Amino acid sequence: MFRGSMVALVTPFKNGKVDKKTLKKLVRFHIKNNTSALVPCGTTGESATLSYEEHEMVIDIVIQEAGGRIPVIAGTGSNSTWEAIKLTRFAKKAGADGALLICPYYNKPTQNGLYEHFKAIAEEVDIPLILYNIPSRTGINMAVDTISKLAKDFKNIVGVKEASGNLDQMINIRRNTPDNFLLISGDDALTLPVLSIGGKGVISVLANIMPKEVEDVVRKFEVGDVQGARELHLHLYPLIKAMFLETNPIPVKTAMGMMGLISPELRLPLAPMSDKNKNLLRKILKQYRLLA
């Protein structure tokens, strides 16, 4: 259902407001460059500092501009189950192809609490749902048993974006979920290893600036060109690391600003990139011929 390079889309701002015109341009940019799916309002999209109205507006703009030409997986998670249900209902009504649901953050629920949270959303909204496990952001790791039970109990829970960085956990997810349950890398650095254990793609930060190349890694692997996929993945690796010189999405929005794709505006408490890291980022972008 969902595969390949699924871009964790940035939310462009201008003078403190969502830059609607540039957001539409980004959608067209990804369609042109063969990105497999758009994922607005995730971590990279600064969903934590979008108002409810902005959150819904961004989802709606992306869906309308995509016009059915590319799948849209809307970020609709929250640490409030009711709020997650509300946003997921909106995404379905707006025409999203699926929804990405982050583990509840700050609350630190038990594994049973996580199960009940996702159960409530799955029962309320009949749309393909992708779980999002990123313990470095949420303070809680969703256990393999919890993921496996959700995958088996609810047909509309179709996959997990795994950003734990724990390949052992990912292997056990693949071993203990149905064959059609999607394992998706949540880390560009692990795209190829995740593909090798049965993953179907990546929800990618790097794809914001190199969409064609990220998609090519997955395509090459899918057609059996493992050496080609490996060579390209290794070629991209220094740039992948540069995207995390500071907290995501600070580096990628800074890079996109240098490339003329967006204004690199962030929302507090995210602050502009330090001069030292900005100079290093500029040097790396030049090495990849992304800057004049």
- Which residues belong to the active site? 132, 161
Q: Helix/strand/coil (H, E, C) string of the chain?
A: CCCEEEEECCCCEECCEECHHHHHHHHHHHHHCCCCEEECCCCCCCHHHCCHHHHHHHHHHHHHHHCCCCCEEEECCCCCHHHHHHHHHHHHHHCCCEEEEECCCCCCCCHHHHHHHHHHHHHHCCCCEEEEECHHHHCCCCCHHHHHHHHHHCCCEEEEEECCCCHHHHHHHHHCCCCCCEEEECCHHHHHHHHHCCCCEEEECHHHCCHHHHHHHHHHHHCCCHHHHHHHHHHHHHHHHHCCCCCCCHHHHHHHHHCCCCCCCCCCCCCCCCHHHHHHHHHHHHHCCCCC
Residue 259, Cα to own-chain centre: how many angstroms? 21
Q: Please check whether residue 245 is in contact with residue 281, taking contact to mean a CB–CB distance below 8 angstroms.
A: yes
CA separation for the pair 173, 268 (Å, rounded): 36
Residue type, 129: L
